Amino acid sequence: MTPPLLELEHVVVRAGGRAILDVPALGLEAGTTTGVLGPNGAGKSTLLRVAAALLEPTSGRLLLDGRAASRVRLRAVTSAVLQRPLLRRGSVRSNVETGMRFHRVPRDVMHERSAAWMRRLGIAGLADRPATSLSGGEAQRVSLARALAVEPRLLLLDEPFAALDAPTRGELLADLREVLADTGTAALMVTHDRDEAAALCDRLAVLHDGELRQHGPAAAVLDHPADPECARTLGFDTVLPSRLAERWLGEGSGEVALRAVDCQVVEDGDERFAHPAVLRRIVPLGPVARVVVEVDGHALQASAPVPVPAWLQERGVGRPVRIHLRMEGARRLGGSPATGETESALGSAAHGRRQS
């Protein structure tokens, strides 16, 4: 079995007296794109810089192809695209060639590659333009071309689309996915956007407070949060504390997370399925309205359709409502983070209970 392209073993980065990154184990396979999700300050950029050999971990080591890797060896096979394009004064072409120059690629090869990559990323027409005259999207394309022209085995991306507007982001995403698929380059991408992660990544890692909380195949991670914080990051905005979950869903439920859409506000209904709550706030959010309710002092995120039904509008703050949980969308929290195993959907268990 071939070892992963890059492995992090017990990597800890300390700064200011505390651990800002703590990754017991993380492996990146050749040809795969791994996403790193997490809120601001979670340590995502730190993880990226460690993988790029731009930052020396306080303890732990990195293995390249199964062997301990020095900074020099790692740098030779990686290149990075940081959040801001950070281009140099000069033409677009000279910028695309920057990395190759550092890697001492022979001149003719360099010119060939830069031409090819500029074409690939749709910026061939800008080759002689000064880098300072580019738009945000164009600049980021140059930054991508520059990093890819080095032909790294591992491409590192730090929220590369964060500063772009939605349509540009979409285009660039699609182009990047194609390029990665065509070249078979492995990638590690930091993002705080779930949709981006879903679109680009084969595997996902979730970081919180520097800790690696869970990682595994993207689809699995996206659907099975490991703990309440991961739940929020992964879009499961409604977290039922154990007491509540046990009261509503039966013993042994533990903490349960749902997406707000799976937690509907209803006028009334059977007590067993429509749980009592107190209305706090209604916030229209486009196609769905976010409804904040309160149960036993806990604030919960529920939802209601848009346009908001008349009964709800008239109900008034502080008045009782009921919430209906869609069990297929419920997830019990607490799979093992490191191995990527997650508990199966709670839905089936509860479903069974209901039927009994």
Paired strand residues for 204: 35, 216
- Number of residues located near another protein, criterion CB under 8 A: 22
Q: How far is CA 117 from CA 110, 123, 147, in A?
A: 11, 8, 10
Q: Does 80 bind another protein (CB under 8 A)?
A: yes
In the complex, the smallest distance separating the C-beta of residue 160 from another protein, rounded to whole angstroms, is 12
Q: Where are the alpha helices (DSSP H) in 241-337?
A: 242-249, 310-315
Question: Is residue 24 packed enough to be buried (19+ CB in 10 Å), middle (13-18) or exposed (0-12)?
Answer: middle
Instruction: Candidates 98-106, 254-262, 310-318, 325-333: pick the segment binding another protein (CB under 8 A).
Output: 98-106
Residues in CB range of 256: below 8 A, 6 or more apart: 239, 240, 245, 249, 330, 331, 332, 333, 346
Strands 18-28 and 59-64: unpaired
Among 12, 25, 76, 116, binds another protein (CB under 8 A): 76
User: Judged by CB, which is closer to another protein: 15, or 285?
Assistant: 15
Among 57, 99, 225, 337, binds another protein (CB under 8 A): 99
Q: Does 114 bind another protein (CB under 8 A)?
A: no
DSSP state at residue 2: P
User: Judged by CB, which is closer to another protein: 54, or 220?
Assistant: 54
Phi, psi for residue 202 in degrees, rounded to 5: -85, -40
In the complex, the smallest distance separating the C-beta of residue 336 from another protein, rounded to whole angstroms, is 33
Contacting another protein within 325-344 (CB under 8 A): none
Contacting another protein within 43-72 (CB under 8 A): 49, 52, 54
Among 14, 31, 63, 84, binds another protein (CB under 8 A): 84
Q: Does 103 bind another protein (CB under 8 A)?
A: yes
User: Judged by CB, which is closer to another protein: 33, or 303?
Assistant: 33
Q: Does 311 bind another protein (CB under 8 A)?
A: no
Decide: 210 and 60 in contact? Cβ < 8 Å. no
Among 146, 213, 331, 332, binds another protein (CB under 8 A): 146
In the complex, the smallest distance separating the C-beta of residue 184 from another protein, rounded to whole angstroms, is 20
| Rg, C-alpha atoms of the chain | 24
Q: Does 102 bind another protein (CB under 8 A)?
A: yes
Q: Does 96 bind another protein (CB under 8 A)?
A: no
Q: Does 107 bind another protein (CB under 8 A)?
A: no
Tokens representing 336 are 């093992």
Nearest CA to 187 among 286, 321, 81?
81
Decide: 93 and 127 in contact? Cβ < 8 Å. yes
In angstroms, the CA 55 to CA 20 distance is 12
Q: Does 145 bind another protein (CB under 8 A)?
A: no
Contacting another protein within 211-240 (CB under 8 A): none
User: Judged by CB, which is closer to another protein: 83, or 264?
Assistant: 83
In the complex, the smallest distance separating the C-beta of residue 256 from another protein, rounded to whole angstroms, is 41
Decide: 114 and 149 in contact? Cβ < 8 Å. yes
Q: Does 188 bind another protein (CB under 8 A)?
A: no
Instruction: Give 219-268 as a DSSP string.
Output: HHHHH--SSHHHHHHTT--EEE-HHHHHHHH-TT--SEEE-GGGEEEES-
Q: Does 315 bind another protein (CB under 8 A)?
A: no
Summarize as ranges the residues that interact with another protein (CB under 8 A): 49, 52, 54, 75-76, 78-80, 82-84, 86, 88-89, 98-99, 102-103, 146-147, 150, 156
